[in-house]
Chains A and B, each alone.
Chain A
Amino acid sequence: QSVLTQPPSASGTPGQRVTISCSGSSSNIGSNYVYWYQQLPGTAPKLLIYRNNQRPSGVPDRFSGSKSGTSASLAISGLRSEDEADYYCAAWDDSLSGPVVFGGGTKLTVL
């Protein structure tokens, strides 16, 4: 049981915009930054978004992050087949659960 809650799956067709949600609590998302990782099949996770909405260099601007209260979202616009992957949210947690907590992951399928 992950501390952060994500939908297990999401899907979209090429060119569409999809969003993936991440729900937490006041001790993690509510008081700290949210991070997003992309894990392509058979590979290690890769940082996608840091500090709620910042993209590391090399990450396309099709990927964007947002946060409101104790929830966060990852949006992918102009969906492409190579976006098919697992996506994980993460945050620092100030409670006994932490300090690092991950979501359960969302498998994105490009139809």
Chain B
Amino acid sequence: QITLKESGPTLVKPTQTLTLTCTFSGFSLSTSGVGVGWIRQPPGKALEWLALIYWDDDKRYSPSLKSRLTITKDTSKNQVVLTMTNMDPVDTATYYCAHLMPDDYYFDYWGQGTLVTVSS
């Protein structure tokens, strides 16, 4: 079955760069049509999509955060990495990675999420 798990720091300082890793199993990012996305949720607030990476290395970013985000994949390790630069307290959120249904536009499997707090 498909599982995903996020890992990374729980606390980062303002202006620092956040690096999160999504380690998954049950599928391969080298399979046609497959994608992995990142979504975040500030405490008590709504979901916000951040980035997507596809099996063919096509990458998509949230327009409002594009300048700060980089998404990469390591197919051999079954990992997707998201980096976000210049972190600010408003970036405090639970960050989720999720499997994008092949050749469709919804996330059918989600990781448990990881809470990242931005504070000095």
> B110 at the A/B interface (Cβ < 8 Å)?
yes
Interface residues on A, range: 20 to 34
A1: shortest Cβ distance to chain B, in Å?
10
- Complex Cα distance, B60 from A4, in Å, reads 19
Judge whether B49 and A101 touch: CB under 8 Å.
yes
- Partner of A99 from the list B39, B52, B104, B112 (CB cut-off 8 Å) is B52
B80: shortest Cβ distance to chain A, in Å?
15
> A62 at the A/B interface (Cβ < 8 Å)?
no
**Across-interface contacts of B46 in A (CB, < 8 A):** 2, 88, 102-105
Judge whether B48 and A50 touch: CB under 8 Å.
no
Interface residues on B, range: 20 to 34
**Contact A35 B49, CB 8 Å, known A44-B111, A99-B60:** no
Residue of A nearest to B47 (CB): A102
> B106 at the A/B interface (Cβ < 8 Å)?
yes
Of A15-23, A74-82, A90-98, the one with at least 4 CB within 8 A of chain B: A90-98
Judge whether B105 and A47 touch: CB under 8 Å.
no
**Across-interface contacts of B96 in A (CB, < 8 A):** 44-45
- Partner of A88 from the list B47, B104, B105 (CB cut-off 8 Å) is B47
**Across-interface contacts of A56 in B (CB, < 8 A):** 108
Q: List 23 A-B contacts (CB under 8 A).
A: A2-B46, A33-B104, A37-B47, A44-B96, A45-B39, A45-B96, A45-B110, A46-B110, A47-B107, A50-B104, A50-B108, A51-B104, A88-B46, A91-B105, A92-B105, A96-B63, A97-B63, A98-B60, A98-B63, A99-B105, A100-B49, A103-B46, A105-B46
